[in-house]
Amino acid sequence: MTFSLVARSADGHLHGVAVASRFLAAGALVPAAEAQVGAIATQAHVNLAYRPQGLALLRTGVTAAGVVAGLVAADPERDHRQVGVVAATGPGATYTGEHCRDWAGGQAGDGWAAQGNILTGPEVIDALRDTWLARTDLPFAQRLLAALRAGQQAGGDRRGQQSAGLVVVRRGGGYGGTGDLMIDLRVDDHPDPITELDRLLAVHTLMFSRPDPATLLDLTGAVAAEVAGLLTALGHPADPADPQDALVEWAGLENLEERLAPGRIDPVVLARLRAALPHVPAPRGAASTDRDPAVGAGGDFAAPMGSEPESAR
């Protein structure tokens, strides 16, 4: 009834789980992860105790295979369980109990484990594996989601679709750097949950990804004048020479505070500001973001921004 991918980034800084199922709110039950420790997916006849127990074992340095062996050895219902584990280093591990409903099985490799039950066939796991290994060009979360979508396109849960979830952890990667939970998104009951999860991830990326320092624009000269004009027109009076305070006020109301940088402006924030009041012309010499994919027709968000490929993270 469920298929999932548990994975670690190439640099070991991120761990995550992506899951989809014909089951209500699978994302509330299946995944668990701890930054620089590992990640776990428990499914089939879910044993929620696997999550804290597995993470506790991972914290002590037990390998993924050792964690799987320890969890199922102590479980009298092991034949009905399915679990995938990835540790801080080394290969992942997966287990499928012999009484899990067909088709059921899994595969694992260096830093990943894919598993599923009540699937259309083994091609679902093959698609998870192949896409995960091939799409190293994508940021970590988008790579997990791409693999999940590939699994669905290969057949997915043979009963249909209902829910999906995505969890990613990174040390200090949470909101404001105050926690490790970087992404925790769920679609609990939806006819196309993976597409809806993709939409939520795009919004999350816009709101909470931190800007790439290499793309920041100095908030001076023509850029500052344009920003001040836009903010003033939106009801946030700004000094054309120094609009920082007004920008902070507006960005906070728009939930873009994670993208702020003192004395500079993220092109994604500038694009959103322009989209909020498109009839205000940009002064000559102002920075152009015409090609910025964060804003589509009518100012709608069109694509994830602010994330670099996994290999750069």
Q: What is the pLDDT of residues 211-233, one digit of tens each?
A: 999 999 999 999 999 999 999 99
Model confidence at 126, pLDDT cuts 50, 70, 90, reads very high
**CA pair distance 225, 126, nearest whole angstrom:** 54
Least confident segment among 5-14, 190-199, 239-248, 281-290: 281-290
Query: What does the pLDDT read at residue 90?
Result: 97
- Tell me which residue of 1, 3, 41 sits closest to 128, measured CA to CA: 3
Strand segments (E) across 228-302: 264-265
213, amino acid identity: P
* pLDDT for the residue 311: 41
Q: Nearest 5°: phi and psi at 253?
A: -70, -30
Residue 80, CA distances (Å) to 2, 104, 160 in order:
13, 11, 21
C-alpha span between 132 and 112 (Å, rounded): 9
Q: Helical H runs in 116-220?
A: 123-134, 140-153, 193-208
Check whether 28 has a pLDDT greater than 70: yes
pTM for the structure as a whole: 0.84
Q: In this structure, is the dihedral angle defined by the CA atoms of residues 136, 128, 169 and 89, taken in order, positive or negative?
A: negative
Helices (H), 60-208: 64-73, 123-134, 140-153, 193-208
Identify the residue with better confidence: 304 or 20: 20
pLDDT tens per residue, range 127-181:
999 999 999 999 999 999 999 999 999 999 999 999 999 999 999 999 989 999 9
| pLDDT tens digits along 40-93 | 999 999 999 999 999 999 999 999 999 999 999 999 999 999 999 999 999 999
Flag whether pLDDT at 198 surpasses 70: yes
Confidence bin at 124 (pLDDT 50/70/90): very high
String of b and e for 18-40 (b: at least 16 CB within 10 Å)?
A: bbbbbbebbbebbbbbbbbbbbb
Give the model's pLDDT for residue 1.
74
265-312 pLDDT, tens digit each? 999 999 999 999 865 555 555 555 544 434 433 333 333 333 444 543
Is there a contact between 115 and 94 (Cβ–Cβ < 8 Å)?
Answer: yes
Q: What are phi and psi of 289, to 5 degrees?
A: -125, 30
